Structure 1
C-alpha cells in the first residue's frame, strides 16, 4: 500500500493525531505514515507542497473533533471558510485527486453536514466514517488498520490482551499504543456478539425529523455562580462496528439486504436498545434512556417556571438562583439544576456510541 496522510487541526485533535500516528507507524512503518507539512522551505508555495504530499498517499485520514467545524481565527472568522486553510486544502486536494478520504471521528464528534462545508469539500459529508474512542482505542484503531490493509491482507497475529492490559491501556492516553491484533477466534466471537446486538435495533418506527445532533461547543456564561455538583458518570452502551449478514429482507414493498437496513438505521441516527431519542428540541437525535427523555421533556415544560420572573443579567433567559442553562444543544437556555446539566453533557459525549453502527 501507499503511505497514509493524517490531516488534523492542532487546536482540535493534536493529541489524538499524535497517538494515531504512533499506532499506524507501529503497524505500517515510519515511512508509510505522514502528518503535518513541516518540510516546506521558506518561500515555497504551501498549496503546491500540500498537493505534492497528498499525491504520494493513497489514503487521507481526516481527524474530526468537536471544534473541527467551528474553530475560528483571531479575527473571529471560521477557519474552514478560508480558502488557504491547511485542513481545507488537504481535504480538497485529496477529494479532487481521487484519494481515499476517511473521516475519523474523535472526542464524540459528529459528521459535518453538507450544508456546513465549503463547496470544494462538501463531498466529505458523504464519506463513510470511523470512530476512535478513548476507552476502546486499541480495538478501534485495529479495525481502522484492518480496513487500510484491505481484504485478504496478511496480518501478524498476537495473543489477545488480558483484561488488565486493556484497562491499563485505556487509562493511558499519552503513552505509546502498540498495535494489537486479535486472534481469529476472538474476532469471530466479537462479530457473533455484535450480530446479536443488531437484532435489537430500535428507531425504525420513530423519526424525529431531519435535524442533526449538535454537540455542545463552548459553555455560555452561567446564570448562577453555584458550582455544578459532582455526579456519577453512567457507563454507556457502546457497540463496535458490526458485520451484518447480507441476506435479503422485505421492508414494505422493497426487498433489501440486512446491511442496507443497518446502513439506513445508522444514517437515520437510530438508537440501539434500550436508548431512544432525547427530543430536547425538534430533530434531537441524541440517544438516551427512556427515563432521561422523560426528565428532559419535563424540564422543557418547566422552562418558564425556572427563569427569573424579572429577568436579569442574561435578559429574559436568566435563571432563578440555583439553576443553570442546560446546554443540550447550542443555544439551549432551558433552566435546570447543575446536576441535570452535567448528565446532559455526558449524554452528548456518548451520543455516537449509542446509535446503530455502520455495517462492515
Structure 2
C-alpha cells in the first residue's frame, strides 16, 4: 500500500498492509487532514531516527474488522483521529481502535469529514468536559449570547472554528480572537458575538465591549504568551482551558485569589492511557456527525489538496507553519 513517512523529510513509500487486532478496524483512507501535532511530531524525527507515519485526522471506509469489533461493519464510512502512539493515517490503509471511531456524516465530503475528528474532539472536551459548559443549553433558543461569557483565543484556527459553533449552541456569549480582516470575518460567520485582535492589548478591547472580566477562557493559541492576561481577565470562580504546552513555568498563584480552575485539554489522553471511558470519543464523534447532518454545525474545512502524497502534505505542513491558516487543510484521494 502507498504511505507517506517522515524521515524527517516527507517521502512517498510502499508498506505492507496492516492486520487488525481484536478491537481494530482496518480503514481504507479517502481523505486526511493536518494539525499542528503533525508538524510537531515531524520536527521530533531526527536524521537517522526511524521514519514515522504521521497523521491523526482521517475519513475512509472500513475494509476489515478485528474479532471483538461490535460497532462497525465492513463497508461503513467512518471518521477518526486515532491514537498518537500508533501509526498515523497518512497511508492507504490504517488500523484504529473502534472505540475512537465515529460514523462519517452523510452530507459531508470525504475531505470535510476528515477535517472534523481531532479539532471536534478537542473543542468538545475542552468546552464541555473541562470548562463544564452544557452542550445543549442554547439549542432550544436558537443559539448563544445569553449565557456565560467565553473568550476563545485562536478563534480562526481549526479548534477555534468548531469551538465557536459548539459554544454558541451551548448558549455562551462568544468573544473570539482574530488578527486579520479575513479571519475576523470567518469567526463572525461561524457565530462569534464579538471579535478582538489578539495582537493588540485585550483588556481595553473587552472593556469597550462591556466586559471587565469573562467567565471562561479557552486558549487554543499560546499558553505562555497569554498567561498573565488570562489571569487578569478571568472572573472570580471562573475557569480556563489550554491545549498548547507551556515552554516556561506557569505561576499558578496568579489564579489563587480568584479560585480559578485551570485545566489542560489533550485529545490523546484517553487513548494514551487506555482510560475506561475511551469509547467516549467514538460517542462524541457520532454526536458531532448528527449535528453536522442536521445543519446545526458547519464543516470547518478551508482548503483541499489533491492527491494525497508527500509533496502535497509538505505544502499543507508549510501552510500550518505560517500561523495564518483559517479553518482546516485536508488532502483527498490517492490519484
Task: Provide the TM-score with structure 2 as the length reference.
Answer: 0.25
Q: Quick one: higher RCO (CA 8 Å, sep 6+), 1 or 2?
A: 2
- Name whichever structure is richer in helix by fraction: 1
Task: Provide the TM-score with structure 1 as the length reference.
Answer: 0.24
Bigger CA radius of gyration: 1
